[in-house]
């Protein structure tokens, strides 16, 4: 049985049990709607949900790519500079210990309620995972390989691009998989604080009006989008590092 078949079987069984239990137990819709009611809600307003989903995914992707660009540059600086390692790395660790939802209102004050504030929050939440895994990957090169490159008078840029960077790719993709999920969380957190569009806004307004079915619809849509984004990064990883053992095992398991 393939992974896709296993997932479909497990999810299908879970939804059937959920549907049967809600109907037999007579659970009120405002407390826990049946899966069929949630799917009807999505089917009745597909364009409306897609508009809000597109906004949330857009903020997530912009924040993710900003975190990727800034995080990789920061990681390179940390690896090559003892000063940055002792200052920037420590600052990022301290910043990561602060609950990001506590910083979200500040970004709203500084940048307003438009898309830029959601992107900034998304980027901030995703940044640490990118930096940590990229630093780990860049430092994972065998010292003997670095010594050989030095003996051959390779320039630092050549060592970075041809030795350190390829060796760091598996760790970087591990960080990116975490970061894309965190970026989606950041986009939702920003929408919770202040927004008039996005799935976070849908959840917040539906909760205020006790529209539990709509809340579940938005949450399920978020779960689907988060899964697709995660596997999109995995697909890029499959083509970028097909030589890595994790990709060989994955191909064999399918």
Q: What is the DSSP letter of 164?
A: I
In a domain, 120, yes or no: yes
With a cut of 70, list the residues of the chain below it in pLDDT.
Answer: 1-4, 244-254
Q: Distance between CA 16 and CA 4 in Å, rounded?
A: 18
User: So what's the pLDDT on residue 253?
Assistant: 45
Domain range for 98 is 54-197
Q: Distance between CA 53 and CA 59 in Å, rounded?
A: 10
In a domain, 163, yes or no: yes
How many CB atoms lie under 10 A from the CB of residue 74?
A: 20
User: So what's the pLDDT on residue 252?
Assistant: 45
In a domain, 250, yes or no: no
Q: How many domains does the chain have?
A: 1
User: So what's the pLDDT on residue 246?
Assistant: 65
CATH number of the CATH domain containing 140? 1.10.3720.10
Question: Which CA distances in Å does 150 have to 155, 162, 201?
Answer: 8, 13, 55
In a domain, 236, yes or no: no
List Cβ<8 Å contacts ≥24 apart for 90-93. 92/127, 92/128, 92/131
User: So what's the pLDDT on residue 53?
Assistant: 94
In a domain, 147, yes or no: yes
In a domain, 239, yes or no: no
In a domain, 35, yes or no: no
Give the chain's end-to-end CA distance (angstroms, integer).
8
CB 60 within 8 A of CB 187: yes
Query: How many CA within 13 A on the CB side of residue 68?
Result: 18
Q: What is the DSSP letter of 197?
A: S
In a domain, 186, yes or no: yes
């Amino acid at each position: 049985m393939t992974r896709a078949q296993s997932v479909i079987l497990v999810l299908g069984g879970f939804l059937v049990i959920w549907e049967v239990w809600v109907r037999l137990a007579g659970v009120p819709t405002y407390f826990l709607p049946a899966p069929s009611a949630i799917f009807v809600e999505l089917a009745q307003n597909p364009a409306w949900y897609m508009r809000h989903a597109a906004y949330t995914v857009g903020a997530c992707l912009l924040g993710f790519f900003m975190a990727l660009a800034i995080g990789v540059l920061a990681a390179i600086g940390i690896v090559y500079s003892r000063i940055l390692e002792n200052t920037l790395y420590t600052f990022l660790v301290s910043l990561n210990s602060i609950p990001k939802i506590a910083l979200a209102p500040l970004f709203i004050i500084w940048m307003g309620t438009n898309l830029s504030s959601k992107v900034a929050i998304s980027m901030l939440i995703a940044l640490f995972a990118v930096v940590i895994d990229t630093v780990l990957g860049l430092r994972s090169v065998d010292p003997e390989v670095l010594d050989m490159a030095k003996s051959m008078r390779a320039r630092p840029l050549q060592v970075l691009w041809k030795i350190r960077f390829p060796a760091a790719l598996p760790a970087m993709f591990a960080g990116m998989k975490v970061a894309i999920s965190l970026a989606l969380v950041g986009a939702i957190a920003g929408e919770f604080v202040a927004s008039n569009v996005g799935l976070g806004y849908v959840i917040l307004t539906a909760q205020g009006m006790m529209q539990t079915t709509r809340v579940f619809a938005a949450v399920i849509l978020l779960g689907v989008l988060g899964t697709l984004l995660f596997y999109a990064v995995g697909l890029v990883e499959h083509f970028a590092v097909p030589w890595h053992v994790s990709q060989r095992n994955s191909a064999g398991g399918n």
